[in-house]
Structure 1
């Protein structure tokens, strides 16, 4: 093919890649929901954990502190910030709750709920609206009108002479709240003004959380003015943003270093500037086709972990053009060189793809995405290397095999002692013994250990949670029933026991849906205690006798009491559009969110839990359950790992079967598989010996390393006893190993635990696979 035609083909290929990239950019939707990488929950605690991770109030909570100025100025900024965030238009609001300790008077009790105040308040449980009580309340109002609170009290008197709405607003305050200074929350030292925000976006909605944080910072910049005050934000959304920023920064750094290093390695290995550019074409095709396949098959978006780890796997595809470049022969058309290595290359690709297809039986949506991305990507890179890339190449001017350096290196390797089978088995047995008998925790089940959030940020989060009295994020009491009414009744029955726990300092406080929405049965009991209009007028007239108020001043009060007496009890649906909607959404779960049969679940959040065993005893006595979400997460991780281990075991069998089908020789098959299997055992033994607790990402990285090792062994086996072919294969494998080691060694330096686990595991796997493939697989192949 002439040079102009090769250039035209390159431009055409690049044009297709650009077009595909543009289309994918329009179609692709990224997801950050960690639940996509978790198996289906089975126990109530696991279901609640999955729900809380994405939709629960804990995942939506932002803890805010203002510091760096005088307390009075910080209080002013807190009030202004609360107003700016709470007054947003409904369509533009990013926060369902904005609290700073200023209850805003009646703002907590919407206008349309005030006629129901005697059904929602506990006053009617212990007090009748008789003349004696009304007289005491009216006498107190006379005193209030002479106090600084007169401006607040006077507009309420006609409809609410007992100030029941204000009592209700006070009762709805957080069960555990910080102390107030200048009318807003402050920490104990009085140095930080505190706010508690609940975002409308779910915890694992990165775009929604980022928009909420941007709105918060913009509002703070406006209210701060020239003040030197600072904004401190913590919580799941803030951590997600910080993690994303760290990931982008390290991905940019490592990607740039890895790309430059990869190009430099190819330039040094092949001494042609075109090689790095041409090698990038199949790799770029692999990434784009993999993305397109996932975008088409998964309409709800591509998970960020799939994208990041998938491109790491696609990096393996760079080995395919390297093998082709190393096997080019002088005066031989490149397509013939590609044809000669195709069977070996295709065997490695097919075996690796079969291995990743096992993720479809894992029952985890994220791993299915990863399988689709990897299989389509690797297949695309292999086919591009076989059928498209040779058309862009010119016959090699020299043969790698003719270089004196490769010949001397090959001779050196030939002089190395070949391990006998008993030695290999002995090393494997020793490695297994290390894996099994080294003391220490084997598996890492704690999800928190995988977080890349810095220790100082976690410490600051804990400090703010304690200052704000935020509920315990580990323990919850779950109350299940046939419907909302039954769980509200059971919640009310549990309250006396919880009050006892609080009085004995087992807990500092608690929160439940029944604080805000009593059961319909309780509301009806309160209705029965409300007087009819005639009775109330008679009792009110007696209470007004001799007082300063007119006899007809409280007709609105009589109307509201009659409305409450005859109204249908309030249900959860009646609170939609009120501030209570968001509060109840986190404490009262209905439908199929937590149970397959659509039953309702009421949650009781606990603050300052000092003795879980005592709370568990109380829970059992009331036939409810104290859920340990940490334990639930660990059990979920354990189940997840079991599924992945079965998938990996099946993957090894499929890889072995694929190699045997190609080689049709059991001894050759074992010789090819031996380095891969022994390397896997050695990597596990080294990690265990170093005290590393293994997690899911170590396992997936081991599978990636196994695929690389299988390619090395297959090509060494393919070389046979031909000295020139041995040199070409040795050159190709050395370049592949060097480029892979560079990329994954950089990942091993990452501050992100997941990337560090992947980088360390694959880098060790590449080293072991390379050495063992040279010593074991080439044992008989080097005999001429």
Structure 2
């Protein structure tokens, strides 16, 4: 017989070893875990051109990188000064790719290494030769400029650019439909807010990168107050996808902190009250922690990174694993070793684990990486949690001092349940009513709008739309697309489309447009402009003729002659040559290049007649893309895959239960509560007007897994009164702890968390009641 001291030492050694393994695993995961926040991981593979564009825009497109800034609360001159100071400060931050406020007068408006190519990028030579008459007119204009307030701007450019083509390009490259300018910077229509447009290096859904960018903007705003002390009361607004991502991240972290704190306190109190042993809540957390770390590790090994949704939702799913030690603890009793108790429970426990894992395994074939991660996380986590409950936890637990079967309160409750009539016809009636409600309740059944999953307040979205309108930012719904085998082909197509769009703008079909060819002409166009450039002797003769009777030295414009010679001999510029310049972002967002094809996009502003635009641009090979419609079709495609996975999961789950129980009546008693609970959840959600989204469907599997566990354990208890009472105790504790967790999630302001919490909380209630009424062993073996 083993000595008590030896048992205590072995338990302590196992506990320390287990905790040490968890600590090392957590440390390793913390060091090497790559967390992703790209929403595309939870979208199916796009099929249509609009869907492809939508997915690209969500992840890397320029629209996701744009932040809209508004400074208000001071006089126009003070606001302009702060705008200029902010623009200068943001240019030094690595997190900011571009900051624009309408000031295009500096020499930095066009990157220095692109200035010799200005006549290849500008349309001037398309209609005007670079001859003596043109140069004479320009030089006479420069004489007037030098005597005007613009002299400080013109003089540095004069020797190398007497025609000021650099400034023409700077003006041309200003955002289409830019707002009005006051004191040299952008202002809103009322003149009460200075406006800036910022493009970040990080994508919009990279909340960490966006958080750094927002911090840089706020720091620049605080520093700008030193240049304009009269604007001390000014305030800064930041809007756009990145700002929303930062706000969502902050709000989610705050809510998860208080929810996690409330969950922890509530669970400790519930478990302490249920078992009256301080060690039980602490020991019960070990399988849960083991499962969570195992799930994270499995995903980290099999995928390049772990999505934030996978972590948040995965740990929620792993919450199912807390039921495993609870069932074990409730079945402990004096006179029986913990190992014997868990051996008796294991067949039922493993049936529930296998059923849940099989249900989630169907996600591995969904074609959606996020769901695959979720499946791996859940399967690995539940398997490890169950295994540690079976083989490790019993070695740490001392024999029970009290038996839940001896509880007078539980006995009275069970006698009350036994007196209730066993529902049979009532179940069929309830199921029929639930189906009728699901089918005929008013309102939209499915939620296809991805924007409704965002926790951004409507007021913030409305403000964002206002700022976009003020800044002339492009429409986020409609775009034109032209596809070809290479970039050159689609740039030429864009150039042919430009006159069509100009006519449509004059006709009021749209307010404005922007396309890559505005910044980067096709190679063919650049070659044509090169051919129009005079050679050096010819240009020098034209310049000498233009300088007659003008007060300029003959050799003053040698840099200009040199630039033109460089442009004549240079290779035409391509998108690759724009790397590291503000033009790179403008062009890369409107010219998408793949290994075998290229797509030129046209962003639209103020589209009033989509049908007329679509008809007019079709002959030019352009297609109007409706990104809202694309997002809805993508969600519908996602839902079809998920529903197919659910159908397969239901069949596999039923098959697993059949193999475990091998008795039709027992199988029916176990599956009926879960099936009816699913119908009731859907009926309640429909009655209260909830549109079902993808996370409701995923949560239904979790709720079904919980219900299956409850029913399996009631069936396992058979007609043994003590086992029935122990099972009742376990299921009550399981239900209360799970209900606590998901009820708190249902109170969240985050739509995804609210959908998960509300769905599973309803499932816990319905599954507990129905499992208690239906799945318990009947008084007669002949009864259902």
TM-score (norm 2): 0.96
Q: From 352, 355, 380, give the equivalent of 2:356.
A: 352
- Tell me, what secondary structure is at the counterpart of 1:377? helix
Tell whether the 8 Å contact from 2:338 to 2:399 is kept in structure 1 after alignment.
Answer: yes
Tell whether the 8 Å contact from 1:717 to 1:781 is kept in structure 2 after alignment.
Answer: no
Residue 243 in 1 paired to residue 241 in 2? no
- Tell me, what secondary structure is at the counterpart of 1:189? coil
2:728 corresponds in structure 1 to: 730
1:389 corresponds in structure 2 to: 393
Give the stretch that moved more between structures: 556-565 or 108-117.
556-565
1:596-619 alpha-carbon deviations (Å, 9 max, x no partner): xx2111111111112211211122
Tell whether the 8 Å contact from 1:178 to 1:185 is kept in structure 2 after alignment.
Answer: yes
Tell whether the 8 Å contact from 2:366 to 2:642 is kept in structure 1 after alignment.
Answer: yes
Tell whether the 8 Å contact from 2:718 to 2:777 is kept in structure 1 after alignment.
Answer: no
Distance 1:124 1:638 in 2: 51
Distance 1:276 1:401 in 2: 20
Alignment of 1:453-472 (within 5 A): 453-472=456-475
1:603 corresponds in structure 2 to: 601
Tell whether the 8 Å contact from 1:701 to 1:762 is kept in structure 2 after alignment.
Answer: yes
Distance 1:539 1:5, change over 3 A: closer
Query: Which ranges of 4 or more aligned residues in structure 1 deviate by more than 6 Å?
Result: none
Tell whether the 8 Å contact from 2:715 to 2:777 is kept in structure 1 after alignment.
Answer: no
Alpha-carbon shift at residue 51 of structure 1 (Å): 0.7
1:175 corresponds in structure 2 to: 176
Q: From 186, 209, 230, give the equivalent of 2:235.
A: 230
- Tell me, what secondary structure is at the counterpart of 2:589? helix
TM-score (norm 1): 0.96
2:77 corresponds in structure 1 to: 72
Alignment of 1:614-693 (within 5 A): 614-693=612-691
Distance 2:188 2:673 in 1: 60
Alpha-carbon shift at residue 782 of structure 1 (Å): 7.4
Alpha-carbon shift at residue 781 of structure 1 (Å): 5.8
Residue 542 in 1 paired to residue 545 in 2? yes
1:44 corresponds in structure 2 to: 49
Q: From 364, 371, 388, give the equivalent of 2:368.
A: 364
Alignment of 1:214-613 (within 5 A): 214-225=215-226, 227-298=232-303, 300-420=304-424, 422-592=425-595, 598-613=596-611
1:203 corresponds in structure 2 to: 204
Distance 1:381 1:527 in 2: 71
Give the stretch that moved more between structures: 276-285 or 573-582.
573-582
1:10 corresponds in structure 2 to: 15
Alpha-carbon shift at residue 161 of structure 1 (Å): 1.7
1:88-127 alpha-carbon deviations (Å, 9 max, x no partner): 4xxxx11111101111433121222222111111111111
1:21 corresponds in structure 2 to: 26
Alpha-carbon shift at residue 489 of structure 1 (Å): 0.7
Alpha-carbon shift at residue 558 of structure 1 (Å): 2.8
Tell whether the 8 Å contact from 1:444 to 1:694 is kept in structure 2 after alignment.
Answer: yes
Tell whether the 8 Å contact from 2:104 to 2:167 is kept in structure 1 after alignment.
Answer: no
Residue 164 in 1 paired to residue 169 in 2? no
Distance 1:188 1:86 in 2: 26
- Tell me, what secondary structure is at the counterpart of 1:476? strand
1:321-351 alpha-carbon deviations (Å, 9 max, x no partner): 1111111121111111111111101100111
Distance 1:540 1:260 in 2: 85
Tell whether the 8 Å contact from 2:515 to 2:602 is kept in structure 1 after alignment.
Answer: yes
Residue 123 in 1 paired to residue 124 in 2? yes
Distance 2:541 2:380 in 1: 83
- Tell me, what secondary structure is at the counterpart of 1:102? coil
1:471-530 alpha-carbon deviations (Å, 9 max, x no partner): 111111111111111111110111111111211222111111101111111122222322
Distance 2:621 2:55 in 1: 23
Distance 1:744 1:273, change over 3 A: same
Residue 107 in 1 paired to residue 108 in 2? yes
Task: Name structure 2 gaps, 5 residues minimum.
Answer: none
Distance 1:504 1:266, change over 3 A: same
Tell whether the 8 Å contact from 2:500 to 2:617 is kept in structure 1 after alignment.
Answer: no
Distance 2:660 2:779 in 1: 17
Q: Say what the alpha-carbon RMSD is for the aligned residues.
A: 1.6
